[in-house]
Amino acid sequence: MRKPIIAGNWKLHNTSSQGVALVQELGKLTADAKKVDIVVCPTFTTLTAVANALHGTNIHLGAQNLHWEKKGAFTGEVTAEMLRDVCCEYVLVGHSERRQYFAETDETVNKKVKAALEGNLVPIVCVGESLEEREAGTTEVLVGKQVKAALEDLTKDQVASLVIAYEPIWAIGTGRTATADQANEVCAFIRRTVAEVFGQDTADKTRIQYGGSVKADNIAELMGKSDIDGALVGGASLDAVGFSKIVKF
């Protein structure tokens, strides 16, 4: 019922020419990958060139961030309209690096989710706990709070249309990976949280990804779990061959 979605977050990597070369190779390697939605999220300066290179492929374009206002004195920001103008369909919201380094809060994440939806973008809403929070046994308290805050005041249809990415902070770029059972346990909890607020039918429609040191050698086990509907991939998405293997799990 839920089509898997594999998204690559390039973070602060790749010039326009490097990004074009990457997606040109990726497009060829994934031309026969029909069972999943494939998304790449380049840097802002690379979006237009990558969008042009994606024509004729089955790869969708996403951005890594947006601002909740439609215009104004917000130096360095971009709007949903600007992202749509360069052919973006998806946008990451609330990534742990944005929360950690750029002071994003549950409140601003909610504003960005609403702005993305209003601007006809699919938000990939990131939630996840730190190592300290996991070891303290507060994963569900923290993640549940983030999910409810991010989705506050949304309609059932809006929630069903977006993507939630569970990214345990302790597994991002560290080489440590949550076991498939650990990842599924939290993804299932996220689905129960959505059901609690918006009903089981909405929860059954909402796609929930896992992200955190996802690689070709662990994607199949992750995707075999009941509540994992895809992956948000960091470093491994910068290699076309490796990322294509993840997409073709």
128-177 pLDDT, tens digit per residue, is 998 888 889 999 999 999 999 999 999 999 999 999 999 998 877 677 77
- Dihedral of alpha carbons 148, 150, 153, 155, sign: negative
Position 91, amino acid: V
The residue segments making up the domain with residue 113 are 5-248
Q: Which residues pair with 39 in a beta bridge?
A: 7, 60
Answer yes or no: is 94 a known binding residue.
no
Task: Give the span between the Cα atoms of 66 and 208, in whole angstroms.
Answer: 21
Give the 3-state secondary structure of the chain. Answer: CCCCEEEEECCCCCCHHHHHHHHHHHHHHCCCCCCCEEEEECCHHHHHHHHHHCCCCCEEEEECCCCCCCCCCCCCCCCHHHHHHCCCCEEEECCHHHHHHCCCCHHHHHHHHHHHHHCCCEEEEEECCCHHHHHCCCHHHHHHHHHHHHCCCCCHHHHHHCEEEECCHHHCCCCCCCCHHHHHHHHHHHHHHHHHHHCHHHHHHCEEEEECCCCCCCHHHHHCCCCCCEEEECHHHHCHHHHHHHHCC
94-136 pLDDT, tens digit per residue, is 999 999 999 999 999 999 999 999 999 999 999 999 888 888 9
Answer yes or no: is 235 a known binding residue.
yes
The CATH number of whichever domain residue 178 belongs to comes to 3.20.20.70
Could you give the residue numbers annotated as active site?
95, 167
Answer yes or no: is 9 a known binding residue.
yes
Is the overall model pTM greater than 0.85, yes or no? Answer: yes
Answer yes or no: is 213 a known binding residue.
yes
Query: Residue 1: which pLDDT band, with cuts at 50, 70 and 90?
Result: confident
Least-confidence region, from 48-62, 125-139, 194-208: 125-139
Answer yes or no: is 68 a known binding residue.
no
Domain count, the chain: 1
Answer yes or no: is 234 a known binding residue.
yes
